[in-house]
Amino acid sequence: MKRKLFGTDGVRGKANSHPMTAELALRLGAAAGRYFRRDGSRAHRVVIGKDTRLSGYMFENALTAGFTSTGMNVFLLGPVPTPAVGLLTPSMRADVGVMISASHNPAEDNGIKFFGPDGFKLSDEAEVEIERLLTEGVELAQSHNIGRAKRIDDGRFRYNERVKGAFPRGLSLQGLKVVIDCANGAAYRTAPEVLWELGAEVIEIGTSPNGLNINEKCGSTHVDTAASAVVAHGADVGICLDGDADRVMILDETGAVADGDQLMGLMAKSWADQGKLTGGALVATVMSNLGLERFLDDQGLRLERTSVGDRYVVERMRAGGYNLGGEQSGHIVMTDFATTGDGLLAGLQFLAAMVETGKKASELTRVFEPFPQLLKNVRYSDGQSPLEDGNVARAIADAEAKLNGNGRLLIRKSGTEPLIRVMAESVDEAVLNATVDSVVDAVQAATL
């Protein structure tokens, strides 16, 4: 059985439209509750966090109803970063954790992600089983066994202390001026608090959520506002988080952006030099730049590639015993400290490197020369399968021949939106543009 409801990062869509309706969230909560209460022999717990979207109230209540209907006791964390849910699920001895968020998507979207009792995201097999239970229906708890729900007021403070504990002892951010852009999202209180408590002079952006402005012209996918603030305030560095704070982009003192690949390259070399990088490898997805792979080769390190999605990165890390991985988009996973991508934690690692080396951000954000890379998206309608079209297949084959081993071509469906993503890399930018455009034209023709 294949997953139909779950994508690469939980269930996601436009709020109040299928599949992101209150009715489905209630049923999904009941199905997940039954899955994690299979023995039925004791009280079970679930922790639920959310970002700052208006629809979060609706889904929080619907999921609570579903979980309590199967006898699960619910602990509501309120707005916290996604990695806080991964941390607090095992810390509070919960059987399952839930984050209500659509990450970097606009405010009208929302999503539901699940974490197992170990704080890691669920496997494909577990999601398939939850979908089966949702389809077939679940046995509800007897009336005297219905679960209870309560608010947990100190969830973010527990997370703050864990994040600060990962910052090297003896170091301080005293003297550093840091712009922090929280995308009007889940870290709007957490990130400024942590940076200030570690000694930084903090300039806040995106810390006034109103339910509708999450990721709006701010955050890791819209860095221009933060870049302007870095220059205007003469800041040493900028840290841009996304709506649920599991990804990060770093800005140097000129406002120039460094993506996840550059940050992972810096950390991999630094950790390897300190003897802290396990397995001699960095785990990243097929989207990471070929320049990163060549850089690691020069350092005597390996790049282990996975499918797109930080959960697949984590699965490979756990299977191979690696402790550093992530995505070009800014998910940085450090399993010595966290169970999932953590933008604030990764940002602090970069700040620690600045303090330890005494170097400017611009000296640390260009550890390798990236291959020219181009990504274009083609939207398609429900029921369409453009990648199965014969003309598309021929266009892809022709494009691969043009690259002739001097680049890469990657065609994939988005796991969160109805998009075909066409990405290529090449040392020759003319070939790069022609390659991507030929495939995009074929895919667009197949959607007409």
Query: Which residue shows structure tokens 């991999």?
Result: 268
Q: What's the pTM value of the predicted model, to 2 decimals?
A: 0.89
| Terminal-residue alpha carbon distance, the chain | 31
Q: Residues of the chain with pLDDT > 70: what percent?
A: 98
Nearest to 267 by CA among 315, 210, 209, 337: 337
Question: What's the CA gap between 308 and 37, in Å, rounded?
Answer: 31
Q: Rounded to whole angstroms, what are the CA distances from 186 to 230, 246, 383?
A: 22, 10, 34
Q: Is 103 an active-site residue?
A: yes
Binned at pLDDT 50, 70 and 90, residue 414 comes out as confident
| Residue 40 pLDDT exceeds 60 | no
For residue 381, give the DSSP letter. -
Task: State both tokens at 11.
Answer: 């269930």
H or E element, residue 74: strand 72-79
pLDDT (0 to 100) of residue 1: 59
User: What does pLDDT average to over the chain?
Assistant: 94
Q: Which of 40-44, 204-208, 215-219, 332-336 has the lowest mean pLDDT?
A: 40-44
Phi, psi of 122 (to 5 degrees): -70, 155
pLDDT digits (tens, 9 = 90+) for 123-138: 889 999 999 999 999 9
Average pLDDT on 415-432 reads: 88
Catalytic residue of the set 55, 69, 103, 426: 103
Binned at pLDDT 50, 70 and 90, residue 9 comes out as confident
Q: Which of 47-56, 371-380, 403-412 has the lowest mean pLDDT?
A: 403-412
Q: What domains can be seen in the chain, in order of their start residue?
A: 11-153 (3.40.120.10), 158-253 (3.40.120.10), 260-345+355-364 (3.40.120.10), 373-446 (3.30.310.50)
pLDDT (0 to 100) of residue 311: 87
pLDDT (0 to 100) of residue 38: 66
| Residue 402 pLDDT exceeds 90 | no
| Residue 3 pLDDT exceeds 80 | no
Q: Which of 56-70, 168-182, 254-268, 376-390 has the lowest mean pLDDT?
A: 376-390
| Residue 42 pLDDT exceeds 70 | no
